[in-house]
Chain A
């Protein structure tokens, strides 16, 4: 990957979009210049929803973008500064689920689960909302610091789709920001919300499914307690316990081999970093 360091001015950033929607003067794209950071932001979402396009817009990097051949198979990292805060941005492979795994999906899941991002942006295709919401709800089981980026709103408009993003935000309990990332639309607002949430100034009330089963809850509580003993500091022990009860092979393996906690290490997937996009 080539090193790209550039500072965006409002004019340069926004050549393609109407001036009213652009106010990115406070954004500085730092490329891979990343010695330290204040916050980590993960970009998750279904395949082909514009995650890498967003990553590039905010970091100035050139992650591959596009249909199929532009598929991201491993995570990429870049940085940006917004006002005086530095953000590390992590572009994840597309995934339909955090539960059933291809290797690429595992990269995304493990980062959201154990990488402890300060904010997870779930990028959703406004034209395939149902699919995106499945992943949003799964993500909300893991973290309450979620911003939904309702992308490809330009195409939705063309398809005569109207989405009531306020109702959606109310039901999900987290902010929903409509965007057309490729055209820069909605990006300043998205960044403002991400920044506020990273600082803990954006209260959320994540919608969570209630399993309503006393026996299940008791088993989960017991297992979660044991897991916390085995893996001190493990985030999301409850979620891991649910996966164990569900017979999730990759999680069972990680517990058995004692590698569950290792997933928190930033260099936990060296072999995956070697993977090339096909």
Chain B
């Protein structure tokens, strides 16, 4: 059963969940607030000098217990389903080690190559193996709607599927001291041939990126 169309792109999936919850919430909000305002005007003491005490109404109370219960369970379900996308590591995923330390990120690829900017090939799922070298940090990719804390004592996984070429922000979102706010870098999604050429070359230089023809996301 899928309540929302399945989107391969995780950001899209998160936005769909968001839209579902926000729209239901706005409807609930309007029902509550409009009813309240109508009552406050309609039953103003000038118009309605004598109140009627109604202690309760069982069918009504059951109704407004059951309907929201069903609604929130649906919210739970769609959230859980989309969440599994970033927690289930596909077989063909390319592992990249993500190291966080006060106050920078660094990355290590399969063949031992290290960079301070994250380079990934377009279209291949990336299995980020996230670890901290000191206190707790968090590896956050806003454009992908994903984050995962970096812990000092164990490795955590997060799956990223870069489907667009571009330069994306990487920021730390777990407070880690003085320059927490400056702990950021970029993730650059390259065409996979460019990426392969770079990763397999013996040069230590970082790949050249033509900024002009790629979309820049935050």
A and B form one complex: no
